């Protein structure tokens, strides 16, 4: 007995059971590989606090065993956990933006009441939107008033609570609120699925989350624009009003983003495409772009570059028809999985499909002759024009069109060649993007719900892609369930000069098409075997890639890409003859050149050439004519001064040959 503690006091102490590690404690593996032992049932937020107070302050949600979860989520077993913030992950941003969409919806409901009915309000790639069925259209003049109410809600720092209701109670609750669209959404949820709500103050919304812990966690907000949007994207449904917005943890981040938007407006490819006479879209063909002479030069340069680099990498080029009969599209699976996006026609009373993809035609090319294992791999490239039915409200310049040219290639290989071929493609994509100065990230998309093929084939395909990425030491994001219906894929997201990301290149591993088209080769054993097929694009769509290039360079293309590389500017009529001689010299070595022989002042001609974003202007007067030289002005460096014509030609040719940026 301890002599310092009275017996009765010791006797009356409550008994504290010893901790049972196997019941009350669990192990959490963090992203850096470290392991923490914590109490079972700990919330994500409590775990973040145990790691660091700073992390807990900045946390927006978490990944628990690969699934995005609320900070409220209680972890009940050994798990892998990654705490997400606005700055360290896209999912972290989305939780932040999704919460802000609810704040905007609450503000609009406070101002307009039942004259604004709720529909949906997700986070998107850059910010969020919320769709409302409004009694009267809300003007952009009202944005300031809505933003002021949003800031008030943020200042109130309302706790955000999550709860669930049984199906009948959820429907009853939303009917009482007069939210008919929410009732429709609940009624379509599968039986037994949890119906969750998030509440902040007087505002409650049907939502799966995740969300921040309170409205006060959001800092800087801005409503960007509004537009029309059909309910559920169906043009037969009611037109709603969609409000787009953005938010950031810091006012400086918001200001930086708004400045980027202003710069993006100046770079808008639709505006520059018209000013630089590159392309047009006529009302007679919405979604079907016309390429003008200068645009065709740019396009042809890109296609020539594509052909040259593919020839050097062991590709052959093919061309397949745009229209093929319905039976082919049934065989490929497109009729069942893609028919709503296809254009169809009848020929001789038989249904035909206008191709939305090039791959079925590539199958027929492979089947046109017998192949030996010695022939493989076969790398067949195609600049193939495809047509897809896009809704009119989704059309957007060259970014979203109804006909476009895919820089497709289909690689038929032996199973043991899969990893080598994927590796070759990744290296080729890297080479192409580096020439344009693009950085990129990778995303691996896995088996979707509507997939074809066996579990074994999908596991093998996904495993092969993961192994190559690991062997090349290339980090990637995992996008569960977003693969093509015939196979998993790697997507390349390029980053432009404004930091915006564009999905362009892709690699898809396909065990299904060779099966459906009964593709074979004769193996070493003299028997027939099934080849494996890889689909891949680098530009993705020539049209869309041109749109990206226009905005990336703000129309000021590097010399090798510029439709007009040199503009010759004679000062007076007496210098026009010499200007034409210079033009001929440049054309002899393949430089694209124009002469501005208008009866205008030289200053005006220079300004015009600058507006057309010509890389080089050659000013020719008496001194240049007598010396056989040219006065060089560079778009990038300004007035360079007089230069012998041969020296100038060598300079430009080197820029073209080295793809100088």
Q: The tokens of 528 are what? A: 């027939």
Cβ–Cβ contacts within 10 Å for residue 450, how many?
9
Res 235: pLDDT: 81
Among 131, 408, 491, 596, the active-site one is 408
Lowest mean pLDDT among 8-17, 286-295, 391-400: 8-17
Res 340: pLDDT: 86
End-to-end CA distance of the chain: 85
498-504 CB contacts, 8 Å cutoff, 24+ apart: 498/260, 498/263, 498/264, 498/267, 498/551, 498/552, 499/260, 500/126, 500/264, 501/125, 501/441, 502/544, 502/548, 503/443, 503/540, 504/537, 504/538, 504/539, 504/540, 504/544, 504/545, 504/548
Q: Tell me phi and psi for residue 506, to 5 degrees.
A: -155, 150
Q: Could you tell me which residues are beta bridge partners of residue 84?
A: 61
20 assigned to active site: no
Lowest mean pLDDT among 6-15, 35-44, 114-123, 497-506: 6-15
- What is the average per-residue pLDDT within 588-617? 96
- What is the average per-residue pLDDT within 280-285? 94
Structure-model confidence comparison of residues 503 and 453, the more confident one? 503
Q: In whole angstroms, what is the distance from residue 398 CA to residue 278 CA?
A: 11
Q: Which helix (H) or strand (E) holds 402?
A: none
* Band of pLDDT at residue 363, cut at 50, 70 and 90: very high
Strand stretches in 480-524, DSSP E = 489-495, 501-510, 521-522
Among 222, 400, 489, 567, the active-site one is 489
* Band of pLDDT at residue 15, cut at 50, 70 and 90: very low
Res 23: pLDDT: 58
Pair type for strands 439-445 and 477-479: parallel
Q: What distances in angstroms separate CA 597 from CA 277, 621, 642, one per listed residue?
A: 20, 13, 20
* Band of pLDDT at residue 11, cut at 50, 70 and 90: very low
Among 387, 535, 567, 605, the active-site one is 535
Res 236: pLDDT: 87
Structure-model confidence comparison of residues 522 and 191, the more confident one? 522
Percent of the chain clearing pLDDT 90 (strictly above) = 83
Q: In whole angstroms, what is the distance from residue 236 CA to residue 269 CA?
A: 31
Q: What is the DSSP string of 441-465?
A: EEEEE---TT--S-HHHHHHHHHHH
Res 309: pLDDT: 97
406 assigned to active site: yes
Q: The tokens of 490 are what? A: 């790697």
Sign of CA dihedral 97, 98, 103, 106: positive
- What is the average per-residue pLDDT within 587-608? 96
Buried b (16+ CB within 10 A) or exposed e, 481-517: eebbbbbbbbbbbbbbeeebebebbbbbbbbbbbbbb
Among 106, 200, 241, 406, the active-site one is 406
- What is the average per-residue pLDDT within 587-615? 96
Res 484: pLDDT: 78
Res 2: pLDDT: 41
Q: In whole angstroms, what is the distance from residue 62 CA to residue 77 CA?
A: 15
Strand stretches in 319-458, DSSP E = 323-325, 343-347, 350-354, 378-387, 403-413, 439-445
**Above 80 in pLDDT, residue 20?**
no
482 assigned to active site: no
- What is the average per-residue pLDDT within 567-579? 96
Q: In whole angstroms, what is the distance from residue 517 CA to residue 412 CA?
A: 13
Among 222, 379, 388, 536, the active-site one is 388
Helix, strand or coil, per DSSP, at residue 472: coil
pLDDT digits (tens, 9 = 90+) for 206-226: 999 999 999 999 999 999 999
408 assigned to active site: yes
C-alpha dihedral, 166 to 171 to 174 to 175, nearest 10°: -150
- What is the average per-residue pLDDT within 625-653? 95
Res 140: pLDDT: 92
- When the pLDDT of each residue in the chain is averaged and rounded to a whole number, the result is 92
Res 6: pLDDT: 40
Q: Could you tell me which residues are beta bridge partners of residue 59?
A: 85
Q: In whole angstroms, what is the distance from residue 563 CA to residue 561 CA?
A: 6
**Above 70 in pLDDT, residue 19?**
no
pLDDT digits (tens, 9 = 90+) for 437-482: 999 999 999 998 878 778 888 888 888 899 999 999 999 988 888 8
Among 359, 403, 413, 504, the active-site one is 359
Percent of the chain clearing pLDDT 70 (strictly above) = 97
535 assigned to active site: yes
């Amino acid at each position: 007995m301890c002599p310092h503690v009275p017996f009765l006091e010791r006797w009356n102490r409550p008994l504290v059971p010893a901790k049972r590690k196997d019941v009350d404690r669990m192990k959490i593996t963090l992203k850096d590989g470290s392991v923490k032992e914590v109490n079972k049932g700990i919330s994500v937020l409590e775990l973040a606090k145990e790691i660091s107070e700073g992390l807990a302050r900045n946390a927006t949600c978490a990944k628990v065993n690969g699934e995005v979860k609320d900070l409220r989520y209680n972890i009940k077993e050994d798990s892998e956990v990654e705490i997400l913030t606005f700055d360290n992950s896209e999912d972290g941003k989305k939780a932040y933006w999704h919460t802000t969409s609810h704040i905007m919806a609450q503000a609009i409901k406070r101002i307009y009441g039942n004259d604004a009915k709720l529909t949906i309000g997700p986070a998107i790639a850059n910010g969020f939107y919320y769709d409302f069925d409004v009694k009267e259209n809300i003007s952009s003049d009202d944005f300031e008033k809505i933003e002021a109410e949003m800031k008030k809600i943020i200042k109130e720092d309302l706790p955000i609570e999550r709860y669930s209701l049984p199906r009948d109670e959820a429907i009853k609750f939303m009917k009482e609120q007069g939210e008919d669209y929410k009732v429709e959404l609940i009624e379509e949820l599968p039986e037994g699925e949890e119906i969750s709500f998030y509440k902040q103050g007087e505002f409650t919304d049907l939502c799966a989350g995740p969300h921040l812990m309170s409205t006060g966690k959001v800092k800087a907000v801005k409503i960007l624009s509004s537009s029309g949007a059909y309910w559920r994207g169906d043009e037969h449904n009611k037109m709603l009003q969609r409000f787009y917005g953005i938010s950031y943890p810091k006012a400086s981040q918001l200001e930086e983003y708004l400045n980027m938007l202003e710069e993006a407006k100046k770079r808008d490819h639709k505006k520059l495409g018209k000013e630089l006479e590159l392309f047009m879209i006529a009302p007679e063909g919405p979604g079907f772009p016309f390429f003008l002479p200068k645009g065709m030069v740019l396009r042809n340069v890109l296609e020539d570059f594509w052909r040259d680099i593919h020839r050097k990498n062991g590709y052959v080029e093919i061309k397949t028809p745009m229209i093929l009969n319905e039976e082919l599209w049934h065989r490929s699976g497109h009729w069942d999985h893609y028919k709503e996006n296809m254009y169809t026609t009848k020929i001789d009373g038989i249904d035909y499909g206008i191709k939305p993809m090039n791959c079925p035609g590539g199958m027929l090319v492979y089947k046109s002759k017998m192949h030996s294992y010695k022939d493989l791999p076969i790398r067949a490239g195609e600049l193939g024009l495809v047509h897809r039915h896009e809704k009119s409200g989704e059309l957007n310049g060259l970014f979203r069109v109804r006909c476009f040219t895919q820089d497709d290639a289909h690689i038929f290989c032996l199973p043991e060649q899969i990893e080598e071929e994927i590796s070759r493609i990744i290296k080729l994509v890297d080479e192409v993007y580096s020439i344009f100065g693009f950085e990129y990230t990778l995303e691996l998309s896995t088996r979707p719900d509507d997939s074809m093929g066996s579990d074994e084939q999908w596991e093998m395909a996904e495993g092969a892609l993961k192994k190559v990425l690991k062997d090349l030491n290339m980090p990637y994001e995992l996008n569960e369930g977003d693969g093509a219906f015939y196979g998993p894929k790697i997507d390349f997201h390029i980053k432009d000069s404004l930091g915006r990301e564009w999905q362009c290149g892709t690699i898809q591993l396909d065990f299904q098409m060779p099966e459906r088209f009964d593709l074979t080769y004769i193996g070493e054993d003299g028997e027939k075997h099934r080849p494996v097929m890889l689909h891949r694009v680098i530009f993705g769509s020539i049209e869309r890639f041109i749109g990206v290039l226009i905005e990336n360079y703000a129309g000021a293309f590097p010399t090798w890409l510029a439709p007009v590389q040199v503009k010759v500017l004679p000062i007076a009529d007496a210098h026009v003859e010499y200007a034409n001689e210079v033009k001929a010299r440049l054309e002899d070595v393949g430089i694209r050149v124009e002469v501005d022989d208008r009866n205008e002042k030289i200053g005006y001609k220079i300004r015009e050439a600058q507006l057309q974003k010509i890389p080089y202007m050659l000013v020719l007067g008496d001194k240049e004519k007598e010396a056989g030289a040219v006065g060089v002005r560079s778009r990038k460096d300004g007035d360079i001064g007089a230069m012998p014509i041969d020296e100038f030609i060598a300079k430009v040719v080197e820029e073209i040959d080295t793809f100088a940026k």
